[in-house]
Amino acid sequence: MRSSVDGRAPVWDVVAPAGPGRLPGVRMAGFRDGGAASVCQRVIPHPSLMLAVEFGADSPIVTDAAGRRHRGSVAAGLGLGGAVWVRGENVECLQVRLSPLIAHTVLGVSPADLDGFVALDDLWGGAAERIRERLGEASSWQERFAVTEALLERGFRERTPVDPEVAWTWRRIVAGRGRVAVEALAAEVGWSRKRLWSRFRSQVGLPPKRAARLVRFDRAVHRLAAGDSAARVAADGGYADQSHLHRDVAAFAGVAPSAAAREPWLTVDDVAWPDGPR
């Protein structure tokens, strides 16, 4: 599958798996820059953790707001984006989106420990290089997806999932598209507010209120990219007014709603993750 952005960005070759995977909360897509001279794109936050494994002729460079730079494969925390940029040439990588409910079982670290992004070599050691080699040697994208799924599946057998109360709270936030009364969630699971906030933050990576804001932002920014007006998006999305929407989009994406709607990062979402929630 191929996606382009009206000449504003490189043409991407984007490939999704032929069918649903075996692992709940794990979604994959393959990216190739389509022969463009270079890639330079702002990362738009999403309510998932990201694993990007590169294996092309050259390695992309990820830069964050603090000026930290890393060349190569990375793991990124929940909602990474805004002032984060990806640059490179001859980019070819497999990207994995992970639900925060299974991120620890897959990555071996808590989402709370992923402040921004970390080099995959630092996270997995020599295993990171081995998977890059196997992806490069694979003869097709479907084989690469199978190789990656087999690697991630080991974590499901070896590590403990999140608390059921934390999982229920996250699912309520997602099902409500971020429009939930988070203060009432602790009472519904039978925990104190302090306990739920602490456990949710340590296991998901964000406090419940910010997690709800991120889920609501994701819905809003995709509607803006689809051409809906800011006024309609604000009214339907639970924002107090357009100024509220503007502040949230600027906080997460680093740009105004009109600029966020034109970001190339959003244009490939429906190709790479065709059945994703919105």
- pLDDT exceeds 50 at position 250: yes
Q: Rounded CA gap, 111 and 191, in Å? A: 21
Q: Rounded CA gap, 146 and 177, in Å? A: 31
Q: What is the pLDDT of residue 265?
A: 82
Do residues 226 and 260 touch, judged by C-beta distance below 8 A? no
- pLDDT exceeds 70 at position 6: no
Residues of the chain with CATH 2.60.120.10: 2-160
pLDDT tens figures, 96-136: 999 999 988 888 888 888 878 889 999 888 889 989 999 99
Q: What is the pLDDT of residue 171?
A: 95
Q: What is the pLDDT of residue 152?
A: 87
Residues of the chain with CATH 1.10.10.60: 164-260
DSSP 111: G
Length of the chain equals 278
Find how far residue 264's CA is from the centre of its chain: 15
What value does the CA radius of gyration of the chain take, rounded to a whole number of Å?
18
pLDDT tens figures, 18-35: 888 888 889 999 988 766
pLDDT band at 2 (very low <50, low <70, confident <90, very high): very low
Give the class (CATH, top level) of 2-160: mainly beta
CATH architecture assigned to 164-260 = Orthogonal Bundle (1.10)
pLDDT band at 87 (very low <50, low <70, confident <90, very high): confident
Q: What is the pLDDT of residue 117?
A: 86
